[in-house]
Structure 1
Amino acid sequence: MQGPPLVYGQGQRLLVVDDEPGITEVLETTLGLAGYQVWVAANGAAALRLAAEVRPDLVVLDVMLPDMDGFQVCRRLAEQDEAPPVLFLTARDSVLDKVTGLTIGGEDYLTKPFSIPEVLARVHVLLRRVRRGQAAEDPVLCFADVVMDEGTRRVTRAGRAVELSPTEYRLLRYLLVNSGRVVSKAQVLDNVWQHEFGDGVVEKVVSRLRQKLDAVGEPLIHTVRGFGYSLRLPVEG
């Protein structure tokens, strides 16, 4: 039985960061054949240097690197203007590692061993998501005193900036679009990540977003036990 059709790129620039030559060789070859321009780096310092020179559209990043870990590299990339999306591709598979990667700036997290079709599919989804975000027709979403400007990717509450990772940003956007409604963990996974990470990851990312948002005002993200989450004003007693 044939598998799903492979998806191809249109010359987008990809930076692959991994210290295993076998991994970088496979990814450089297959991603190149799939229509992408590919650069490779074997450590964090080289990755940051190449990222500044090449301005990649996407970074495929291992966590375990010889000089600094991938989480540090991701944080440094996130400080750049127009920071590229990051797909973590690593053997580190704990819930804590996944949550860390997704909340410090990573857009997606895939564990080794991996299949080439899945890597291609996730790269395609991330690049499409970035294009869709850039083409948003209505760039401002509001609820209560929360304002999300999709043109600048800036979130404020009561006029104060709220610093969010890309994952936290997408989660808040989904809650804003569905404000007043209850969304399940399965719906969050389908619409925020489009991949199966498990309930533990959802709970931890929601918790981190709640801490940042509620630090500025009254609680807005509420857990509806047995059902999911809702963005709404507190019920007055």
Structure 2
Amino acid sequence: MKILVVEDEKGLREALIRTLSGEGYLADGAADGDEGYSMICSGLYDLVLLDIMLPVYDGLEVLRRIRKQKMDVPVIMLTARSTIEDKVGGMDLGADDYLTKPFAMPELLARIRMVSRRKAGNSIDNRLKAGDLILDTQTYTLSCTNNNRSVRLGAKEYQLMEYLIRNAGQIISREQITQRVWGYDTDAEYNNVDVYVSFLRKKMKFVQSAAKISSVRGVGYELEAGPV
């Protein structure tokens, strides 16, 4: 799961990124509303932590813009303002939750888990499904509905498989995959993507899934779910 932290206070932003990374999330940061909005529009994030008091565009304006663009990425608002009017304003614009500063990190992590469960539209319990392919998000296990075979994925394999399943039927560029799995500031090359796709294809073959990862020449990859 990849989370964007849009927070202008550098110390808090970096602390949040460290905490999220320590919990196994991928996390990036943005320091103002303009940068945050651009990064959200990339479509690379599963959840956004969005401060209200931001330079350039405030958090409410960022939220208004992304909802106007029909982007349904979950958003948890972070703010020092705790009035009912502020909370209602954020919720009316489409915020999924609201956390008042200062807050305890365990509470934030609990809110993230709650919002993630609420938004997991294509999940069954702790599983993501595409065709006959099942990915267990707790054990990092890939399996097939048509037999008892399963295989454990490594961390990067899991992150790539999760991204492909969540976007099954859509063409995803190598650049999008690199940013999603390795992060914005990575030194990873595009051939890293090709190598890990090869690993996943072998594991999908092992579990005898009818789903396949198709190459789109000059662009990237698409997960074709196939029959159930």
Q: TM-score category by the smaller chain? A: 0.5 to 0.7
Candidates 51, 54, 68, aligned match of 1:65? 54
1:56 and 2:45 correspond: yes
**Would the alpha carbon gap of residues 91 and 113 (structure 1) be closer, same or farther in structure 2, given more than 3 Å must change?**
same
Aligned pairs (5 A) from 1:46-125:
46-125=35-114
Write out per-residue CA displacement over residues 121-145 of structure 1, whole angstroms, 9 at most, x where no aligned residue. 00011111111x3459xxxxxxxxx
Write out per-residue CA displacement over residues 104-161 of structure 1, whole angstroms, 9 at most, x where no aligned residue. 0100000000000000000011111111x3459xxxxxxxxxxxxxxxxxxxxxxxxx
Write out per-residue CA displacement over residues 149-185 of structure 1, whole angstroms, 9 at most, x where no aligned residue. xxxxxxxxxxxxxxxxxxxxxxxxxxxxxxxxxxxxx
- Secondary structure of 2:109's aligned partner: helix
- Secondary structure of 2:42's aligned partner: helix
How high is the TM-score relative to the length of structure 2? 0.52
User: How much has 1:66 moved relative to structure 2?
Assistant: 1.1
- Secondary structure of 1:40's aligned partner: strand
- List structure 1 segments (4+ residues) > 3 angstroms apart after TM superposition: 133-136
Structure 2: which 5+ residue stretches go unaligned? 125-228
Q: Distance in 2 between matches of 1:79 and 1:57?
A: 18
Q: Distance in 2 between matches of 1:44 and 1:76?
A: 11
Q: CA RMSD in A?
A: 1.4
Structure 1: which 5+ residue stretches go unaligned? 1-11, 137-237
**Would the alpha carbon gap of residues 101 and 18 (structure 1) be closer, same or farther in structure 2, given more than 3 Å must change?**
same
Are 2:6 and 2:13, in contact at CA under 8 Å, matched by a contact in 1? yes
1:27 and 2:34 correspond: no
User: How much has 1:55 moved relative to structure 2?
Assistant: 2.5
**Would the alpha carbon gap of residues 82 and 65 (structure 1) be closer, same or farther in structure 2, given more than 3 Å must change?**
closer
Are 2:33 and 2:59, in contact at CA under 8 Å, matched by a contact in 1? yes
Q: Distance in 2 between matches of 1:54 and 1:14?
A: 11
Q: Distance in 1 between matches of 2:93 and 2:60?
A: 7
User: How much has 1:82 moved relative to structure 2?
Assistant: 4.1
User: How much has 1:60 moved relative to structure 2?
Assistant: 0.2
Q: Distance in 1 between matches of 2:62 and 2:49?
A: 11
Identity of aligned residues (%): 44
- Secondary structure of 1:14's aligned partner: strand
Q: Distance in 2 between matches of 1:70 and 1:30?
A: 22
How high is the TM-score relative to the length of structure 1? 0.50
User: How much has 1:52 moved relative to structure 2?
Assistant: 2.0
Are 2:6 and 2:36, in contact at CA under 8 Å, matched by a contact in 1? yes
1:41 and 2:30 correspond: yes
Who is 1:149 aligned against?
Answer: none
